[in-house]
Amino acid sequence: MKKEIFLQELRAFVKGLDEYVSTKDNQWTVKGFIDVFKNIYTISADTKIVSKILEIHLLPKLLEFAQGQGFKIVLPDHQNYYPDISFVYAADESIKYALDFKTTYRLSDYPNHCNGFTLGSHGEYFINRSSRKNIQFPYKEYSGHFVLGAIYTRTAPEQLSETQVAGLNQLRSITSVIKDIQFFANEKWKIASDQRGSGNTANIGSISSIEDLLTGNGMFSQLGEQWFDDYWMNYGKITTIDETGKEKKIKTLAEFAQFRGGEVKLIVTRTRKTKVSKNRNA
């Protein structure tokens, strides 16, 4: 199966996921954990907790999708290995696709933007594509690298119940910690930014414009995957001389394009961050 066809099928698959995980009023159907005594323990809106539970929630559907497309699913042997799921084509096991599951929340003050997420490491396995460090299969063995993303709205704290333990008869009265979940699928390089996604760790950051995430209009989208690979393989390693005569490391795509000497069209996300003005008299 070609990469383009896999992405097409993946996008068709994600169209129905919002109904699978949401109630009629668009709340997440997951309300908490239940024990053998039928006590329901509500969960917090912590992003790591939400992300992991949502991933588990979707796994049966992902298994159905894989079987329907003729793939086997391989889960990582170790925690924090890349990717979250490896799709291996049963008819030809040399065809593998990497899929990372990513979640993020809408920014309340900037409704067209989300908090963004990381897109995997640009360290050892990304640079040395035969490496098996922190990756299920060597990077070069994957025919494509994809993201299945979920963008959601966090429920306001004042709308959440203070009840930490509830009975089954209270299930429907529990307010979900997230709502309005929107799924998308895209190739990783098409939604990448030129900045790290998590401080000093070697993780590639995503763009934050929701429209651009959905359409794959990232900073490298008009340049191509080779520019994405070249930039992130060399991120922070190339130094130039600034106008004061001091050395500085290249850490932006504009500087990198200038260094490479190419005539390129740099992409700036189309949707600016426009803060919502709040009427204090309302």
Average pLDDT (175-183) is: 95
pLDDT category, 244, cuts 50, 70, 90?
A: confident
123 contacts 202 by C-beta, under 8 angstroms? yes
Q: Quick check: 170 pLDDT over 90?
A: no
Confidence of residue 37 (pLDDT cuts 50, 70, 90): very high
CA max distance for the chain: 71
Instruction: Give the per-residue pLDDT at 213.
Output: 96
Strands 96-107 and 165-167: unpaired
Q: Work out the pLDDT band at 264, boundaries 50, 70, 90.
A: low
Instruction: Kindly report the pTM of this predicted structure.
Output: 0.89
Residue-wise pLDDT for 95-107, tens only, equals 999 999 999 999 9
Q: Is 120 exposed, middle or buried (0-12, 13-18, 19+ CB in 10 A)?
A: buried
> Which of left, alpha, beta for 85 (phi over 0: left; psi -120 to 50: alpha)?
beta
Query: Among 80-94, 95-109, 161-175, 222-236, which is the least confidently predicted range?
Result: 161-175
DSSP label at 80?
A: T
Residue 281 has what pLDDT? Answer: 38
CA distances from 16 to 20, 39, 111, 186, 196 (A): 7, 30, 23, 16, 32
Give the β-pairing of 110-114 and 192-196: unpaired
Q: Burial, 233: exposed, middle or buried (Cβ in 10 Å; 0-12, 13-18, 19+)?
A: middle
Q: Compute φ and ψ for 281, nearest 5 degrees.
A: -90, -5
Long-range contacts of 263-268 (CB under 8 A, 24+ apart): 264/223, 264/227, 265/222, 265/223, 266/219, 267/217, 267/218, 267/219, 267/220, 267/221, 267/222, 267/223, 268/219
In the numeric block, which tokens belong to residue 47?
Answer: 């992003």
130: left (phi over 0), alpha (psi -120 to 50) or beta: alpha
Q: Could you give the percent of the chain with pLDDT greater than 70? A: 91
What per-residue confidence (pLDDT) applies to 278? 42
Burial 170-194 (b: 16+ CB within 10 A, else e): eeeebebbbbbbbbbbbbbbbbbbb
DSSP 112-165: EEE---EEEE-SHHHHSTT--TTBSS-GGGEEEEEEEEEEEEEPPGGGS---SE
Q: To the nearest whole percent, how much of the chain has pLDDT over 90?
A: 69
In this structure, is the dihedral angle defined by the CA atoms of residues 43, 48, 52 and 55, taken in order, positive or negative?
positive
**What whole-number distance in Å separates Cα of residue 186 and Cα of residue 67?**
20
Q: What is the mean pLDDT of the chain?
A: 89
Provide DSSP, 10-58.
HHHHHTTHHHHHB-TTSBBS--EEE-TT-EEEE----HHHHHHHHHHHH
271, pLDDT greater than 60: no
Give the model confidence (pLDDT) of 77-133 as tens digits: 998 899 999 999 999 999 999 999 999 999 989 989 999 999 999 999 999 999 999
